Structure 1
């Protein structure tokens, strides 16, 4: 169990304003510290501060100190423990976490304890931003109407979250309508340096965060190390546990020079995204250095950090410099706090001067970008890293039309390249659309809405366009989704809102909206015309993802662009335009108006920004951040510390994770007379396992909802029902592309061995449950690869799976299985189900020793007379502790009693 910190003697202190601040002096541990990448220093500090030789071991500290540029993935994979300072959640992924905490309180009460002791140990912030959709646009009341519909659709989930906001300590829940999670994180939640303790003595340490949204790395622009994780890892951190990670390679990305006067941060990030994808940085840290970094604002850096999932890196990290501290001042952090941060960073060698080459760390590899070479760009039509210079856009799109189907092709027959369709609009006019016509133009997503330069740039461009007499076709679905109330504030104060509205870019809501596919419906006339003529029509958005089918089913081509270009392409009405030679339109007197005539320079934008983006705005907006809208305030919730579960609810349900739990640790038992539920091959991903997307009408989940008198239009998605384990269990392994060797066809079906009857996976598991038969799952290599998802481990547990036997595991999914009390077994090298002549129809017996279980030991399995050894993939003593307790949640409950 946990012991004393062996590095306590390296704690030092300084005094400021009558308060003593303690910190760990890492340079005194090892002089190698001063050459470590700044991102690795954050990992090191966490390991030193939290070292207890149980969760975090001395060898973790030594492994991080021994970080070398020669570290290579797959050759020298060193695993270390990391305890982030906090957790951030959004509503889709946050609901299951709050459900689990509510259920833990019930379990504690049932066991005779005090349920109010169940709270997040590590600070957790949840921002509700994924539920709002663009149903209404082009009106001043669009935002009100969209938010009203959002509440109608999600009232049950919102009521539950509002209860959680009141019931739990150490958890902040930001109401809907406040902004996008990552922008709120940047402008308000980010601490940069944590202060722990009360009174006249406090402990300081770097802010760090893990989040249940892939774009959590946006906060790296503020010098806060953070990345996205699955729900189980996030809950583990909330419960004060460490997470396991591979010590990463760190790629140094050197920036030199200055951006041109007409270039935006969006153009820069699309260039960097393409460069890093070409280099290959999956699983690596990218850290920026060089004099060019000092030329970038924090918002520019955050725009780059946000696109880490698109460039493949775990993080795109910007060490803290004086620009960072200036941003804290701009966003209304207190002077006292900023002074403490500066002093701490100086004492620990973490305050960066990008012009001082002596501060440059060593990196695994480096690359350089001259900012002056960046040109105006977009990315698409199907991937965020397929950058296209705007000057090449016309030719590139025309080539995409005829290219074979792929990331850069639609295979349109030559004879239909001129296809077009007409429809009549409400104004009585007839409009024509063809290949390349823009039908969605959305300024959306935290990638750009965090950045005043591009938002104000869009406003200035709109002003000039309106003054030149330009307009946007009425059938184009235009929208503006600010990332926070601050954006609205400075757009209003700078006077550009009326011009944006004139072009159809009314504010429609505060949330991810179009970027996550919540673009809402297109007009039926537009949809019918597109479908009838098989047109490749386009969406242009200032978001970060444009995968096929994500934005809207009828926009086959989607381009990521700066907010300025979103408006420009909306005015043009098409993407196949050469802005240099073709005008956007005509002025009142018939004169041609080109994009260059209305494009604001960087100096123009910065002048407006310096006048109108001020600390008072941030103070005004964030002083009432938890108040919420009138709809939020009207939601009535119970004041109880225990959640009053509604047994009729199809969204929020009490999970069965603690059914039958006792205070005493149960004895370890083997698994006897188990059946194989699924016999799978290599590379089974969490997409195959975890419930995702819409609920198919012929699925077990649909039958469950139908039995509760819901019609298909009310089924909603698995994402929206993540708080209902009955729905999620029925959606586990429901992927139509699942290949199960027990049945002949691809799909979510399996064989009930005793009856030789083929059925849906859930129905089969349910029949085994009725018979009291435990289940196992057999798989090949890389089981659980892909994005880490909590339900990829929770779902199998609810199906009754006690053990997985695979050739190898994706690292995080293995950890998640342990966290849910499922034993991961691994075939010995050279062995697998086929070499052992297993067909999945056997009865399985797994021998687990009652005592003396050790990490990595051999466990014997017997299957109808075939006896073979496996390696138990409990990699640490912590893993064994979790398993013995039936999972991490059960462990934390018993730990409280202990």
Structure 2
């Protein structure tokens, strides 16, 4: 049977109320001839429907359909083409993506083409949420002042995005001050079921997406399959290219029982992260099942789904069930949409029913929810869970590991009569999509603040406290519950709506704290309700970073230190000198439930009624007109990138004589590679900005300057905590040239190699590229002249990003690594076999030339995983591939 005939025979009608829809059936028609389609994981069924619906395209074949239908939840090397219904962006990753599209238009015009050929073919929503920085805090005016600073700093970026909204089809911008993209997606943008009007009728299908932020996975709580990709992949998806991937394993995770009194969704997710990291789910889907879901609110599911990048999975998926419909209704979706979601998922076998047969998974895990205990995670990895009762010891161990032994040593804090100590909390932030989307933990934080205030407790003077909700709905229900005044009194005033501390937008510490920490070398900590705590991410002066629930953030702000066992030590004293314990101020489940009942559908509808309009500042931005963007060569925010210039036109030949630019260890994150956070005043990026007349106070952050490749390439591999084994004893983005001893910035070395026309490689250990899906980790690598990255293993998204920019990802084989091969950084590599016969996942030969004149032949695994990835690599990256096709 031809694939077109197969597709036609699968089409069915679905009547919902007065409306009749078309859909491609998984439960009736030709697919029923395959074994156990009904027992496939729901996430696999969504992939199956996606291929079935796109069989008429050149990328989807019956062989892929058959592979998924017969997969029994197990992955394989079968290449599949995934066409997401839409794309979600945040502004840090979205600005460079739209810059690339603008540059593609310019390149197409230069080749005599029509710029209107460059347009998103699927719905794209960009939420401006990553630019607000906590400059002001603990005052009633903090929000207004931070907004004013944000608008002043980012005027040029916002002008560019507004131009893009007018110039490109299918592209919408949610203005600043609205919320975090993932929370806006969960509360408003997602539909559950998507539709498209065709000549035959309205076709309905699962709402699916990819996003330019790794925590796009949060939407899987709503039964919407989605995950984070690099900006490069997202741009390709926008332009009609499918996501090329191998069929993933689906690991089943059973939840049973229920959480005990006082246990939060944050405690649960930290346990889940730990379990799944230990099991190993990188590159896999995780699908949750079991009767424990019957009592697990959708907001708790969102907390778990959000942190899929932290447990390493592509996504953490929850099928649609009654809880999903409850949330859709609460969050203001219309009844027609809700009825369609229910009818469609039941017709397609995508609906979860308690007691139904367990799907077939590649492996299964189980967790009794009653075994979850209060926890934190840190000091630098989200999978390193620490029970609350063990926190004191864990914090002290981290301090000792940093070389400080006298934990009782007092330090002077100017302007106060209280001493600081190692382990003190200098940042306490209720932030991040992970938890601010969850009303239960946000209300718990407010209740704890209210009870603490009644006991006469206050935050310590060295603590910078902040509240950055993920949407304005949070502000509304906290105010309605009467909890915001207590939070304000403890310094947790509203500072902005967006992703703040979690991405390094924590802003400066108070001057006296900065002085004390810097001059006296105090090992200080942060506590945040976020999902990321990698080295150097939260604040350059903060060495230990601990993830925890919002109420625990408040509690540690009151205690002022992480060197405390809050399960039994007093958190402080009341005015009479009596000890106050955490149990004295911890809210009960019944108190939280009573306030949850007061959250209404109307609150959501009011806040999202005019979501794309923005405030007066946004509406006043003048964008200009025109289908092509007029790049300003003097701009320090937006520059035309060179990716479409002849120097980056393709990869056809072997790599000869490549020097090692950096020799790195295990768990190198995209935070280590991609520029993020503040721009250090002595860095190459700072030198560039000064040379263009930018004062230090106006440097802004790397994230805000992602539209300028000149800044970003200078900051690549520039993290203050990165350790290059070529220069032992040094930390930060430094290296040396082969055969030399002089220590220099990695950027300067890369430019020296480019001047000498010497290609370079980066060599590293396991889990290379862990962390956020930052496209600049790959773009910066390319612009520094790196031709290949050779490691022991890759994290999924970064490997894909490297391919998308035309950088070759390679893995050591047969137990070999940089240590067994005795690499010092003075070696040169020949990488062979990259000619026309290259196949997916092929072994290729390399020759290592040592400084003493000897050489060694080794075999490397080429991590171009699909034929499409090889085509992208050959073209010099996915964007050049698309441009070449448009020109042709």
Change in CA separation of 1:58 and 1:738 when aligned onto 2, cut-off 3 Å: farther
Aligned residue for 1:259, secondary structure, equals: coil
Equivalent position of 2:224 in the other structure: 224
How many Å separate the matches in 1 of 2:48 and 2:97?
A: 28
Q: Contact between 2:733 and 2:745, CA under 8 Å: does it hold in 1?
A: no
Equivalent position of 2:852 in the other structure: none
How many Å separate the matches in 1 of 2:379 and 2:724?
A: 28
Gaps of 5+ in 1: none
Q: Contact between 1:783 and 1:806, CA under 8 Å: does it hold in 2?
A: no
Change in CA separation of 1:3 and 1:451 when aligned onto 2, cut-off 3 Å: same
How many Å separate the matches in 1 of 2:481 and 2:883?
A: 53
1:726 aligns with 2:721: no
Q: Contact between 1:56 and 1:242, CA under 8 Å: does it hold in 2?
A: no
Task: Tell me which of 488, 493, 508 is aligned to 1:521.
Answer: 508
Task: Tell me which of 606, 614, 617 is aligned to 1:628.
Answer: 614
How many Å separate the matches in 2 of 1:595 and 1:697?
A: 42
TM score, norm. by length of structure 2 = 0.85
How many Å separate the matches in 1 of 2:724 and 2:713?
A: 16
Moved more, 286-295 or 257-266: 257-266
How many Å separate the matches in 1 of 2:579 and 2:190?
A: 47
1:44 aligns with 2:34: no
Superposed CA offset, 1:678-714 (max 9, x none): 5777989685865556656666545443432335555
Equivalent position of 1:281 in the other structure: 281
Equivalent position of 1:442 in the other structure: 429
Aligned residue for 2:594, secondary structure, equals: helix
Task: Tell me which of 590, 593, 602 is aligned to 2:589.
Answer: 602
Deviation, structure 1 residue 568:
2.5
Deviation, structure 1 residue 101:
0.8
Equivalent position of 2:880 in the other structure: 890
Equivalent position of 2:148 in the other structure: 148
How many Å separate the matches in 2 of 1:848 and 1:635?
A: 50
Equivalent position of 1:489 in the other structure: 476
Aligned residue for 1:151, secondary structure, equals: helix
Q: Contact between 1:383 and 1:545, CA under 8 Å: does it hold in 2?
A: yes
Superposed CA offset, 1:377-399 (max 9, x none): 33334433333333x14xx4146
Moved more, 457-466 or 477-486: 457-466
Task: Tell me which of 643, 655, 668 is aligned to 2:629.
Answer: 643
TM score, norm. by length of structure 1 = 0.85
Equivalent position of 1:174 in the other structure: 174
Equivalent positions of 1:395-406 (< 5 A) are 396-398=391-393, 400-401=395-396, 405-406=400-401
Equivalent positions of 1:562-601 (< 5 A) are 562-579=549-566, 582-587=569-574, 593-601=580-588
Aligned residue for 2:465, secondary structure, equals: strand
Equivalent position of 1:344 in the other structure: 344
How many Å separate the matches in 2 of 1:544 and 1:776?
A: 34
Aligned residue for 1:658, secondary structure, equals: coil
How many Å separate the matches in 2 of 1:437 and 1:746?
A: 25
Equivalent position of 2:488 in the other structure: 501
Equivalent position of 2:641 in the other structure: 655
Superposed CA offset, 1:324-367 (max 9, x none): 011011111110111111111011001111x21x3321223323
Equivalent position of 1:136 in the other structure: 136
- In the alignment of these two chains, the number of paired residues is 865
Deviation, structure 1 residue 483:
0.9
Deviation, structure 1 residue 321:
0.3
Equivalent position of 2:409 in the other structure: 419
Task: Tell me which of 772, 775, 779 is aligned to 1:790.
Answer: 775
Structure showing greater radius of gyration is 1
Change in CA separation of 1:300 and 1:199 when aligned onto 2, cut-off 3 Å: farther
Equivalent position of 1:159 in the other structure: 159
Q: Contact between 2:178 and 2:472, CA under 8 Å: does it hold in 1?
A: yes
Aligned residue for 1:129, secondary structure, equals: coil
How many Å separate the matches in 1 of 2:798 and 2:486?
A: 50
Q: Contact between 1:419 and 1:533, CA under 8 Å: does it hold in 2?
A: no
How many Å separate the matches in 2 of 1:270 and 1:820?
A: 34
Task: Tell me which of 361, 365, 368 is aligned to 2:366.
Answer: 368
Q: Contact between 1:402 and 1:411, CA under 8 Å: does it hold in 2?
A: no
Superposed CA offset, 1:408-449 (max 9, x none): xx5542xx3322234454xxx622333444333221111111
Aligned-CA RMSD value: 4.3
1:614 aligns with 2:600: yes
Task: Tell me which of 343, 353, 376 is aligned to 1:378.
Answer: 376
Deviation, structure 1 residue 17:
4.0
Change in CA separation of 1:302 and 1:829 when aligned onto 2, cut-off 3 Å: closer
Deviation, structure 1 residue 312:
2.6
Change in CA separation of 1:605 and 1:793 when aligned onto 2, cut-off 3 Å: closer
Aligned residue for 2:545, secondary structure, equals: strand
Aligned residue for 2:81, secondary structure, equals: strand
Equivalent position of 2:249 in the other structure: 249
Q: Contact between 1:3 and 1:54, CA under 8 Å: does it hold in 2?
A: no
Q: Contact between 1:686 and 1:789, CA under 8 Å: does it hold in 2?
A: no
How many Å separate the matches in 2 of 1:812 and 1:546?
A: 19
Moved more, 336-345 or 528-537: 528-537
Change in CA separation of 1:821 and 1:463 when aligned onto 2, cut-off 3 Å: closer
Q: Contact between 2:3 and 2:61, CA under 8 Å: does it hold in 1?
A: no
Superposed CA offset, 1:268-311 (max 9, x none): 22222233333333333222111111101110110111122222
Gaps of 5+ in 2: 850-854
Change in CA separation of 1:138 and 1:653 when aligned onto 2, cut-off 3 Å: same
Moved more, 568-577 or 810-819: 810-819
Q: Contact between 1:81 and 1:242, CA under 8 Å: does it hold in 2?
A: yes
How many Å separate the matches in 2 of 1:583 and 1:782?
A: 42
